[in-house]
Copies of this chain bind each other. A is one copy, B any other.
Amino acid sequence: MFRRIDHIGVAVEDLDAAIALHERTYGMALVHRETVAEQGVEAVLLDVGENHVELLAPLGDDTPVGRFLAKRGPGLHHVAYQVEDIVAALDELRAAGVRLIDEAPRTGIRNSRVAFLHPAASGAVLTELVQPATLHA
């Protein structure tokens, strides 16, 4: 069902410092930057092989990532697995009794289709499914 790890999501307080660490120190290529107002974040994607690191800076305190930072501080926020058909994957997980945050996919970064599983159903790991735009039918 899952093709690979699409990305890890990292909650950051200082986006410029996090970009410098990943781009200059780790040598990852910055490939995308997007403000996702609906999710209250500024997001930056960097390539690491076929995987990505997604840096997430909150647009305000009263956003999911803002609340995460206030509670836990910066660090690993979620893991995203890449799927070929997100609707089929959600159907399969629903049939297996997995609780979902998103019953249907919504639009994510770079026009991907994404959905989150409920952490209570995924071993306390916030888990996202991603169907990249380039795999769309």
Contact = CB atoms under 8 A, between A and B. Distances in A.
B49 A26 contact: no
Contacts of A18: 123
A1 B17 CA distance: 19
Interface stretch (A31-39, A68-76, A105-113): A68-76
Interface residues of A, number: 39
Contact of A124 (B24, B49, B74): B74
Given A18-B123, A21-B123, A75-B123, 17 more contacts: A2-B26, A2-B48, A4-B48, A4-B50, A4-B51, A5-B8, A5-B51, A25-B98, A48-B81, A51-B51, A73-B124, A74-B123, A74-B125, A75-B124, A76-B76, A76-B78, A76-B79
